[in-house]
Amino acid sequence: MTDELQRFRLDGQVAIVGGGSGGIGVRTCAALAGVGAEVAIVGRAAAGLEEARAGVEKSGRSALVIAADMTTREQADQAVEQTMDAFGRVDVVVNAIGGGAGTALYPAELYPDSEWQRILDLNLATALHLSQSAAQAMIAAERGGSILNISSVRGQLGIDAGYSAYVAAKGALDALTRQHATEWAKHRIRVNAISPTFVRTAQAASLLADQSFYESLINRADPDRGWWAHGDPVSRRCRVGQMAVSNCAAIMCIDPRECRHERSAAYRDFLRERRVSH
């Protein structure tokens, strides 16, 4: 997939990755830099921010590290301002902040307001704030742009495991993606979402460590789908999950009208996989 990414370039463009210090975010930063983008890395985990910086700089691109909390609108505005000051433009936004479902498991009839709001802020408000701030910069620049939300299959599927707030947040993120795409199309700003299933990150570690749960996933997984990747070292799918999501993120940030290879087999395969995943 790394070679195929070279068909889709972001040279001269600037990407902001919200949640760039997370498991998916770190790899998305590297994938975007690998196709030529300068990257502003926004997150809260110091170690993850430095890992993401190293991945960007390894590709010879510039990295701007911004320690900030996107649940706060003011900090989202400041992150975009810092990016504009450093690079002079914003072309791509990836909203990869989210998760936390395993930290707030309650029966639907007893779900506490405080935890409900925390999970919605983490999975929905963060994307709203950064998207709004970046969209204002894109509209003012009149160059268009691309916004990509990392959603989840849980946006379309319920799960009997106490996930009410997380499922509601991802469902709302899917709806917000459609609404932003509709409203900002006139400004040539494309808004899409990727909805992966389980990806082996630190947040999913406890669930994947449950052997019965893990085996139930394996039994219903399609071994030929690049979207599924549990990281099993004896499987062909080892490590594909994080990279499939991050590589797809890089590709989806390209305007297909500007891609010389838009009719290539790789692009058709990507579009087919995207339709299946939605």
Is 166 noted as a catalytic residue in this protein?
yes
**Burial of 268: CB neighbours in 10 Å, binned 0-12, 13-18, 19+:** exposed
Q: Which of 166, 246, 267, 277 is catalytic?
A: 166
The token pair at 65 is 């590290």
| Angle made by CA atoms 69, 147, 61, in degrees to the nearest 5 | 75
Task: Show contacts of 159-162: CB within 8 Å, 24+ apart.
Answer: 161/105, 162/104, 162/105, 162/106, 162/107, 162/108
Burial class (CB in 10 A: 0-12, 13-18, 19+), 85: exposed
21, 111, 170, 267: the active-site residue: 170
| 21 assigned to active site | no
For helices 126-141 and 164-184, give the axis angle rounded to 10 degrees.
Answer: 10
Q: Is 170 a catalytic residue?
A: yes
Selected catalytic residue, list 21, 146, 151, 246: 151
Residues annotated as part of the active site: 151, 166, 170
